Amino acid sequence: MENDLSADLYDVVVRGGRVATASDVFVADIGIRDGKIVQLGSDLQPGRTEIDARGRVVTPGGVDAHCHLDQPSPPPVRMADDFDTGTLSAACGGTTTVIPFAAQQKGHSLVDAVQDYHRRSEGKAHVDYAFHLIVSDPTPTVLNDELPGLIKKGYTSFKVYMTYDDLKLDDGQILDVLDIAKRHGAIAMVHAENSDCIEWLTKRLEAMGRTAPRFHAHSRPMLVEREATHRAIALSELVDVPILIVHVSGREAIEQIRWGRAHGLNIFAETCPQYLFLTAEDLGIDDSYHGAKCVCSPPPRDKANQQVIWDGLKDGLFTVFSSDHAPFKFEGTEGKKPEGKEVSFRHIPNGIPGLETRMALLLSLIHI
């Protein structure tokens, strides 16, 4: 009978875990039948399979809303994960949905980028997935036809960059893209760093022979993130459209976001595990190349800024906690050592892995 509370009612019972729902945290058993949760309660009847979750946290599957998988890079560099290995590691870390980026290449079609990403992912993913877009070349065709058409098909979030030569947009181009987001009901994500300041600092460091991985952090001080965050918020205000500032690294950018919110602007913010667990010292305290493993942008800051990021998570400033997974092998010819060489920090591929470890790292700091 459908309502018969027999020993065969549940295929699986997860027993005695601290269950985290959207509204509460409590100790309970979880009864599962035909792959679906059918009951939460205490002392449920036995299931065919029993999982002892006492002393553990049981959550819904995680959503990593910012990761990079099999994203094309300038040769010889290639990402270490495709949709097979990347989504497998996500599943092992409790993440059941990932949202990587279909990245437009300058001079190419945005629609072609989406089609290419479908080819790269088809038949490989072990978890659910969707795509954000990266708009790097907002031509009239992209703005008037391709982007509105893709939004209509359900690709309703896209990222713009204020740095990286092969991706960055100028302020006028960003305004054009934000206007499309407003008119068609999409959301724009912004990588906020001042490209001109970074280039100026990088050239000065190179002229002094300071090219080790640790100088990556020197080329991207907090002020370049602060200025770009302030400018992105101003552009959002001008168009009157919400934006999401991604991978916020520390206090100065947070101050700008809090200012925007205090003035009634719809500014959302995301941060990542690297800003809770790494500091600039992880890029190296000498000129060794080991710190290349931790080169990412914005770079990790210091211990004091780790606490500021954690405070932002606790008080609700951050509504998204993502990995920004961008994996490159340390050894070999296609990753952190292009062509097998130890290169200047300018040429070290930016990114660190995190799909598998994101949820575990976050929960390691939560006591419930």
CA 299 – CA 301 distance, rounded (Å): 6
Helix (H, G, I), strand (E, B) or coil at 202: helix
CA 132 – CA 189 distance, rounded (Å): 9
CA 252 – CA 305 distance, rounded (Å): 9
Tell me the average pLDDT of the chain.
95
- Indicate whether 73 and 95 sit together in one domain: yes
Mean pLDDT of 252-266: 98
- Indicate whether 107 and 47 sit together in one domain: no
- Indicate whether 161 and 82 sit together in one domain: yes
Of all residues in the chain, the percent with pLDDT exceeding 70 is 97
- Rg of the chain, C-alpha, whole Å: 22
Task: Tell me, yes or no, whether 34 lies in a domain.
Answer: yes
The answer on pLDDT for 3 being more than 60 is no
Task: Tell me, yes or no, whether 3 lies in a domain.
Answer: no
Q: Residue holding tokens 């040429």?
A: 347
Task: Tell me, yes or no, whether 183 lies in a domain.
Answer: yes
CA 143 – CA 216 distance, rounded (Å): 34
More confident residue, 275 or 364: 275
- Please answer whether residues 324 and 67 qualify as being in contact, where contact means their C-beta atoms are separated by less than 8 angstroms: yes
Helix (H, G, I), strand (E, B) or coil at 347: helix
Task: Tell me, yes or no, whether 203 lies in a domain.
Answer: yes
- pLDDT interval class at 325 (50, 70, 90): very high
Task: Tell me, yes or no, whether 4 lies in a domain.
Answer: no
**CATH, residue 211:** 3.20.20.140
pLDDT for res 8: 61
State the virtual CA torsion across 88, 91, 96, 101 in degrees, nearest 10. -40
* Kind plus residue range of the DSSP H or E element containing 239: helix 222-239
* Predicted structure pTM score: 0.93
Backbone angles phi, psi at 30, to 5 degrees: -120, 120
Of all residues in the chain, the percent with pLDDT exceeding 90 is 95
Both tokens assigned to 311: 């405070």
- Please answer whether residues 229 and 245 qualify as being in contact, where contact means their C-beta atoms are separated by less than 8 angstroms: yes
**Which DSSP category does 142 fall into?**
I
Which residue type, as a one-letter code, is found at position 44?
L
Strands (E), the chain: 10-20, 25-33, 36-41, 47-52, 57-58, 62-64, 95-98, 101-103, 128-129, 132-134, 157-161, 187-191, 243-245, 267-271, 320-321
The answer on pLDDT for 365 being more than 80 is no
Both tokens assigned to 183: 């008119």
- Indicate whether 23 and 147 sit together in one domain: no
Task: Tell me, yes or no, whether 35 lies in a domain.
Answer: yes
Mean pLDDT of 273-284: 96
Tell me the torsion sign for CA atoms 86, 220, 234, 303.
Answer: positive
- pLDDT interval class at 368 (50, 70, 90): low
**In the chain, how many domains are there?**
2
Mean pLDDT of 17-26: 91
The answer on pLDDT for 85 being more than 70 is yes
**CATH, residue 41:** 2.30.40.10
Task: Tell me, yes or no, whether 266 lies in a domain.
Answer: yes
Backbone angles phi, psi at 160, to 5 degrees: -125, 150
CA 139 – CA 165 distance, rounded (Å): 17
Beta bridge partners of 267: 243
- Please answer whether residues 248 and 318 qualify as being in contact, where contact means their C-beta atoms are separated by less than 8 angstroms: yes
- Please answer whether residues 141 and 111 qualify as being in contact, where contact means their C-beta atoms are separated by less than 8 angstroms: no
Which residue type, as a one-letter code, is found at position 154?
G
User: Which range of residues forms the domain containing residue 20?
Assistant: 10-58
pLDDT for res 218: 98
Dmax over CA atoms of the chain, in Å, equals 79
- Please answer whether residues 205 and 219 qualify as being in contact, where contact means their C-beta atoms are separated by less than 8 angstroms: yes
Q: Residue holding tokens 């100065």?
A: 252
pLDDT for res 2: 43
Nearest to 291 by CA among 203, 249, 350: 350
- Indicate whether 219 and 308 sit together in one domain: yes
pLDDT in tens, 124-179: 999 999 999 999 999 999 999 999 999 999 999 999 999 999 999 999 999 999 99
pLDDT in tens, 177-228: 999 999 999 999 999 999 999 999 999 999 999 999 999 999 999 999 999 9
